[in-house]
Amino acid sequence: MNVDASLLGLYRPGGGWLFRVSIGWKYLLMLVLTLPPLILLWWPLTVGFNVVTLACLVSSGIDVRRAVRIGWFMWCLLGTLAAYHLITLNPAAAVIQPGNILVAVFAARLLTLSTPTPELLDALQRALQPLRFVGVSPLRVALTIALMIRSIPYLIGLFDDARDAARARGAERNVVAHLLPVVLGAVAYSERTGEALIARGLGEQHSG
């Protein structure tokens, strides 16, 4: 399984400017790059912000190929979305909808490719401190998000395994044969993750 080719990628140490910027600025940059195309819904803006976001990644020393490796599943989804709008004769939407998703993914990768997960977790935990007043544990929320980042490659791997298994049984077109193992695998995975959290005492000794 290639995790670099997964939706949010994997942090590797680097020396570019993005690696030196504090996490708060990175979160701000992510919002600045994502919100304008989402709000204004103008296709040149979508294209422009994709280019700028990608430029941010590349100028920080992250290889273009690594920057755009968001996984075949995501590219297929974006391609399908674009194709749908082209078929329905809405070329602007064919750029805006998948393009805005893409800019959000690239912007999220500004964070995940240049920041170790524990740092993301600490920053989230600090930002979520006010939630304590309504009885929500910031650590638990931050840990949930960190687990989500870690789980995406595994779940995509489940899709790959289910597809291979369906092919091996000559059931390529059987939707149930594709989806059922993924659902069962995801449930089993969440159970095992829950056990690991309990075994490691996470979420109980650090309730804050």
Partner 1 sequence: MIELNDVRVVVPPLRRDDDAKVLLDDVSLSLVERRVAVIGANGSGKSTLLRLLNGMRKPTSGTVSIDGLDTVKDAAGVRRAVGFVFTDPLAQLLMSTPLEDVTLSLKDLPRRERGRRAQGLLDERGLGHLAHQSIYDLSGGERQLVALTSVLAVAPRVIVADEPTTLLDLRNRLMLRRALADLPQQIIYSTHDLDFAADADRVVVIDGGRVLADGAPDEAIQTYRQAMGVHA
Q: Cα separations (Å) of 93 from 78, 81, 82?
A: 12, 9, 8
Residue 147 CA to residue 97 CA, distance in Å, equals 27
Asked if 41 is part of the footprint of partner 1 (rule: CB under 8 A), the reply reads no
Site size toward partner 1, by CB under 8 A: 34
Member of 55, 118, 137, 172 binding partner 1 (CB under 8 A) = 118
* Least Cβ distance, residue 71 to partner 1 (angstroms): 13
- The site map against partner 1 for 151-190 (x = CB under 8 A) is --xx--x-------------------------------x-
Query: Given the structure tokens 């309990």, which residue do they identify?
Result: 198
Q: Is 150 in the site for partner 1 (CB under 8 A)?
A: yes
What is the dihedral sign for C-alpha 3, 155, 51, 55?
Answer: negative
**What residue ranges bind partner 1 (CB under 8 A)?**
1-4, 10-13, 116-118, 121-122, 146-147, 149-150, 153-154, 157, 189, 192-193, 195-202, 204-206
